[in-house]
Amino acid sequence: MKAFIIHLKDISTSYNHAMSMVKTLTEYGHQPALFDGIPGNIAVENAKKDNITPYPYGIKADHLSEAEIKKFIIPERWQEFKNEYRFSVDRKKKFNEQDLNKISAPGVIGCFYSHYMLWHRCVKLDEPIMIFEDDVKFFRNMPDLDWEDVMVLALGKSVYNKDPYKKYMEDPVDPPRITDWSGTAMPGCVGYAIKPHAAKVLVKTYRSHYLPADNAINQTLCKIQMPTHIMGRTTLPDEGNISSIRTKGFPW
């Protein structure tokens, strides 16, 4: 399977760790390639040019009426949005100013654009692909399991050390199996596999709005699943965490 590693080529730590990931994935029998991530400052300019604005409602929210949804959808895209955007009716919590400031950070927009471009690539290739950020520590190869839309392959820092998910960092004795992810959205976007039909839904959904990448991939747009023998997790600070695909601060 083709695998893409989002990195920032001008940052040596990002490039070096991404290259080590290429080596590991090649040894696992995949076809990895580096993918130039979108720096935050460029992403901000792209968002202005493309007239892409933050989605005004949070993922964890209640019902919206059709009239409320129409307020922030470009009229000519309404019918397509209505057909494709399955999760819109499940949301109600409007972002407050603090939330909007957070998701408007250059790093958040750059991270979103980087994943968004790879969703486009998946649709164009018309085959499943793997997407990784530049700081994944691998423990094993991808298990030979089928999944429906999106399969989590690596856990983000806010999840991997928590029960019951930290058990996936160990070597389970039982054969690998697929489980449905219990969360509303992705447990970070550090590593996942996606199928073309799911990527197509994401591409169509976020043509005029964006969310942080891990929130953009959510259960009401596509089914999120996870293997019991997960490939890896984000690196820890004492392991030399080098991710340049950041949502906090403005390093890029």
pLDDT averaged over 10-residue windows placed end to end, the chain, 252 residues: 94 91 97 94 90 75 62 70 54 69 88 96 98 94 94 82 65 85 86 97 90 88 90 79 47 30
| 0.85 exceeded by pTM | no
Query: Rounded CA gap, 81 and 141, in Å?
Result: 37
- For the beta carbon of residue 65, count every other beta carbon within 10 angstroms: 10
Question: Measuring CA to CA, which residue among 92, 229, 99 is closest to residue 171?
Answer: 229
Tokens of 168: 């996936």
What confidence score (pLDDT) does residue 68 get?
Answer: 67
Q: Are 77 and 208 in contact (CB under 8 A)?
A: yes
Question: Measuring CA to CA, which residue among 111, 131, 124 is closest to residue 47?
Answer: 111
What confidence score (pLDDT) does residue 183 get?
Answer: 79
Question: Measuring CA to CA, which residue among 153, 151, 124 is closest to residue 137?
Answer: 153
What confidence score (pLDDT) does residue 18 get?
Answer: 94
Opening angle at CA 203, ends 200 and 209, nearest 5: 150
What confidence score (pLDDT) does residue 247 get?
Answer: 44
3-state DSSP assignment of residue 56? coil
What confidence score (pLDDT) does residue 88 get?
Answer: 47
Helix (H) or strand (E) holding 233: strand 232-234
What confidence score (pLDDT) does residue 12 get?
Answer: 87
Give alpha helix (H) positions in 28-175.
Answer: 40-50, 66-70, 78-84, 97-103, 106-125
13 backbone dihedrals φ, ψ, rounded to 5°: -65, -40
What confidence score (pLDDT) does residue 209 get?
Answer: 87
Query: Rounded CA gap, 26 and 12, in Å?
Result: 21
